[in-house]
Structure 1
């Protein structure tokens, strides 16, 4: 079988081109000719299977890659004198996921609750709106929650708290939450210090007869500090900052890697984790209030400008397809085949979009290489690649 350039395909590449029905995931390394396979699959799907170019959804990672794929498909069809089909490639759905979402939202702007002439925010404007949204959220939550909010801000600082709220906002939205919020945590009781006391005493007794090496001396000192601190009562808020910092000791030599010493390390880690969980449960309502106030202020600022950001494109398109069965059916019926390149850099939200657009059928073809997942772009999750059906070495 010849590829789009006229050169023979390898057996694996040819097999990937021939298998044009059913779910297929091609695990393709860099330089393996995956674009040639996609081009040849697209061309043969159009010519041999009779699928119109605009009934194939081909998703790429960048606009540059989309342009290259479109150009190569056009040239491949012209090679077979399929001029009419080549001309129709110009209107085909070969684009990034954001461009595909934008195209859908432009068509259904009113239904999606958008101004028909909505704009895409540039990075500079987005940063400015985010800064304003944080100031609004900070004032609002401090007024509502009083000392509880003020204590959190004082402990972490305005800038660090704002950065964390913004990070949570983006991560949760990329995970699929249109209006992000934190999940509730069960109330955490103060951890029991007894297991740590017991483990500390056992390790200290064992090391009392060990040779006086530097590592053993350091371990004894750490255990003595732990015993001394555990003798003092701990308040409801837990140990003060730095309480745990010098209670561990190195894992060097047999004397300090015994069962008793390792049990002490485990007990120390569990005690510290227990207090972290308790503090997190207390802080969660404040952070959740800040997060939701920030999200609402940022959303209102975007709406006032009749604008959306890149995450909005995916979220609003997903919500549109979820909530409007007729529109969802229209696109699920439109796309007979779906191809997704660089699938290892897809997020769970994007995978849901592929499914809503018809990719839950048996005609979803994905291409990628988990070892090339270096972008971590917009919270991509390589696990969606590893869990995908139809996996094969196809290119």
Structure 2
């Protein structure tokens, strides 16, 4: 349904879907002005939330400017903004003018926040209900604490590691910093499903050690003699086994067998001098050159082929175990140091709302902010939605309006979840849309409308492309 900014109802829970270029911010500022007068609210009672600091600053300035322009209309200055003229005509009374005057001059009190800023304010204002720590310090970077925990876990892992597992970790260049980069974005997100969900038995890589030691002993004892025999054989294909390469391959094997740490960096000679490769390379009329060393090289090659995928599975299990450990120990370490990171703010408020005093906390926040406008809602995650769903429960007297565009959901890497947006849309009283694009040429809009004019244009049944004019 198309949005009528002056008359469309905004009680209960509403959703505005705004494609790119359809005047979303203009609409938000107009809606803010209308509801300020219609509901007789102050700027401190209208909660506006968006998802980046830059967007928050821009939205704050745009809303303030729109209110100032509307106040000028009340004071007799003509405006080319038809909506503001109509809004003034609907609420021409002196009480509305005074309300606007207070809003403009007291706009520093406007409740316009990032999602983390809102959670921080909510936890501070309702510290007793939320069970917060009055002395906790907000930190923008908790890497130091994460690194300390990972270093402890890493030392423990290496202390108990068999040589083959330790060498695999070296081969994969696994370090505490690598693990932090892999795991950090998944921390503090209880809604994530981690696979494998059950603890995995440690994969045994020790079988590679005896194969490597046996082949190394044979190579060091007979390798050079074996290479001389291959030079003299004369029946090997020169397409796969050029004799000029025997020397370099042998030198690589010398270095490899001298360095156990390089066990997973097998050189070409391991396969080339193995019995299977030599048998395939043998020309007709020539007997395949065979010896115990060639068989041992094949056995080692097979052991390596099995160890690499097994090591990768063990590395996955290690990351799952570390993620569980960090999610358990990181909050304890932060609490001991009285530190909070941004995601902690979300989780703290969500836990408080779901806890024993959740009803009282939600009622307190509804009383403080009887109206909420949530911008860029396509970038929300399940925790963020759970917070607003709990505060602005259906059936309450407060009102909640989401504004977003599921086609612009770009923060999945940060936890944004399109399924959460779809769930919120289904629970909205009445979704509105903005049908006109003001940014692009008519030719481009016509082309895009034609391009996406087919079933499931985004390969998802509940994500459609609404044509715009």
Q: TM-score range by the shorter chain?
A: 0.5 to 0.7
SS in 2 for 1:338: strand
Q: Which has the larger radius of gyration?
A: 2
**Could you tell which deviates more after superposition, 48-57 or 336-345?**
48-57
Residue aligning to 2:153: 137
Deviation larger for 130-139 or 167-176: 167-176
Unaligned 5+ residue runs, structure 2? 75-96, 202-302, 436-469
CA distance in 2, matches of 1:16, 1:376: 35
Task: Tell me what 2:363 maps to.
Answer: 329
Whether contact under 8 Å (2:146, 2:180) holds in the other structure is no
Cα RMSD of the aligned pairs, angstroms, is: 4.1
User: By how many angstroms is 1:113 displaced?
Assistant: 5.5
In structure 1, how many angstroms separate the alpha carbons of the residues matched to 2:3 and 2:371?
Answer: 19
Q: How far apart, in 1, do the equivalents of 2:409 and 2:6 lie?
A: 22
Check the 8 A contact 2:158/2:166 in 1, yes or no: yes
Which residue matches 1:240? Answer: 306
Taking a change above 3 Å as real, the CA distance of residues 92 and 110 of structure 1, as seen in their structure-2 partners, is same
CA separation in 1, counterparts of 2:61 and 2:119?
A: 21
CA shift digits 1:8-58 (9 cap, x unpaired):
xxx945358633224322221222111121111111112123344333221
Give per-residue Cα distances to partners, 1:123-172, cap 9 Å, x unaligned.
3xx333322221012234566x765986884675432x763465345325
Contact conserved, 1:121 with 1:309, CA < 8 A, in 2? yes
1:173 aligns with 2:188: yes
Q: TM-score, normalised by structure 2?
A: 0.54
> What pairs with 1:344-383 in structure 2 (closer than 5 Å)?
344-358=378-392, 360=394, 363-376=399-412, 378-383=414-419
Question: What are structure 1's unaligned runs of at least 5 residues?
Answer: 1-10, 189-236, 243-274
Distance, in Å, in 2 between the alignment partners of 1:111 and 1:151 is: 52
User: What residue in structure 2 maps to residue 195 of structure 1?
Assistant: none
Structure 1 residues 296 and 338: CA distance shift in structure 2, 3 A: same
Does the 8 A contact of 1:141 with 1:293 survive in 2?
A: no
Structure 1 residues 59 and 91, CA gap change in structure 2 (3 angstroms): same
Q: Secondary structure at 1:20's aligned position in 2? A: coil
Q: 1:49 aligns with which of 4, 16, 39?
A: 39
* Residues 1:186 and 1:285: Cα distance change in structure 2 (over 3 Å): closer
Q: Secondary structure, in 3 states, of the residue corresponding to 2:188?
A: helix
Matches within 5 A, 1:68-217: 68-75=58-65, 76=67, 78-79=71-72, 80=74, 81=97, 82-109=100-127, 112=130, 114-123=132-141, 126-140=142-156, 153=169, 156-159=172-175, 163-164=178-179, 167-174=182-189, 176=191, 184-185=197-198
Distance 1:153 1:290 in 2: 15
Native 8 Å contact 2:183 2:319 kept in 1: no
Distance 1:287 1:108, change over 3 A: same
